[in-house]
Amino acid sequence: MKSDDLDGPQRTATYGLRLLEASNCLNTTPLGLAESFKHFPSIVYLDLSKTLPARDPSVLHALRNLPALQILKLRGLGLKDEDVQILCQSIGLRVRSLDVRDNRLTDDSVRMILQECITTTSIARTIVRNRMMQSQGIPSIMQDFFGFDLPSVYHTNGQDMFVKSKLTSGFLSHLGIEDAYQTGITHLYISGNNISVYAVANLLRIQRLHVLDVGTPIGARKAELPRMASPSFISGGSEALVPLLEQNGRGLTYLRLNHSVVSRFTSSQMSSDGVVQAERDDEVVTMLCQVVPSVV
């Protein structure tokens, strides 16, 4: 072996893995996770929920090494605002679905997500149009006929499960979600954190999200509402939120939040944590989301 072969740069072996389900892992380390990302640049779906070493800054920084990443789940890691700052800088606009439920986040995290990880609908449409033309070869004469919208499943709460099932059921070269690369977050799961109703309002006003799960924001329970929200927002009940969705929630197909933000129920209709029971919750969400169409 030549000496210059020994001195030359070492090439990192890479593999075509597209889905990595690494939740609840007890026998891993931050170094192991961070180093593994270098070998799997094709990962589209990554679940590190409740794998506590994943909250280490080195792991969050290493997400930069996953250029194809679209769905990222970091639930139950004890993440704080400073961790989300690193996360947002690492993923930028690459990730379409972000799950950070059950952490220790505040409105500062929502602000960073809005600034770093969400773009405008007009920019997203242009990106999707260009990528679909490149990947599917749509002739210009047919563009107006076919349009450039993604398959409808990518606008719904079923997107993540759909991608996971496709990636685990056999080889599929093109999912369609690749065409949405670098269009920012459209599916955000952030319930179980310390965010306020004001942060929820800001998320609705961006007119970009398809799916939003905020659970019980600070000020959502009736006892907290007078301190946290304006009187007009409280007294209107569901009729006060519907105009907000009509004006600012264009494209929203799934919304999960504490029922007392949108309507008034008796205590017998809610669970111990103040979230409405599933049957009633679904009814409210369906009613609210019927007023807006889906977009890219």
Residue by residue, pLDDT tens for the chain (296 residues) are 444 444 445 667 888 899 999 999 988 999 999 999 999 999 999 999 999 999 999 999 999 999 999 999 999 999 999 999 999 999 999 999 999 999 999 999 999 999 999 988 778 777 777 766 666 554 444 444 334 467 788 888 999 999 999 888 877 777 777 777 788 999 999 999 999 877 888 888 888 899 999 888 775 444 444 344 444 444 333 344 556 666 766 678 888 877 665 554 334 344 444 443 333 344 444 334 444 433 44
User: Could you tell me which residues are beta bridge partners of residue 73?
Assistant: 47, 99
State the pLDDT at residue 191: 93
Say which residues have a Cβ less than 8 Å from residue 126's Cβ, sequence separation at least 6. Answer: none
Structural domain boundaries in the chain: 15-195, 196-296
Q: Smallest Cα–Cα separation from 99: which of 76, 68, 124?
A: 76
Q: Smallest Cα–Cα separation from 233: which of 203, 197, 208?
A: 197
Cα end-to-end distance, the chain, whole Å: 54
Q: What is the chain's Cα-based Rg? A: 21
- The CATH number of 15-195 is 3.80.10
Provide the whole-model pTM: 0.77
Say which residues have a Cβ less than 8 Å from residue 148's Cβ, sequence separation at least 6. Answer: 125, 128, 129, 132, 133, 296
Task: Give the separation between CA 143 and CA 294, rounded to whole angstroms.
Answer: 19
Task: Give the separation between CA 109 and CA 42, rounded to whole angstroms.
Answer: 27
DSSP 124: H
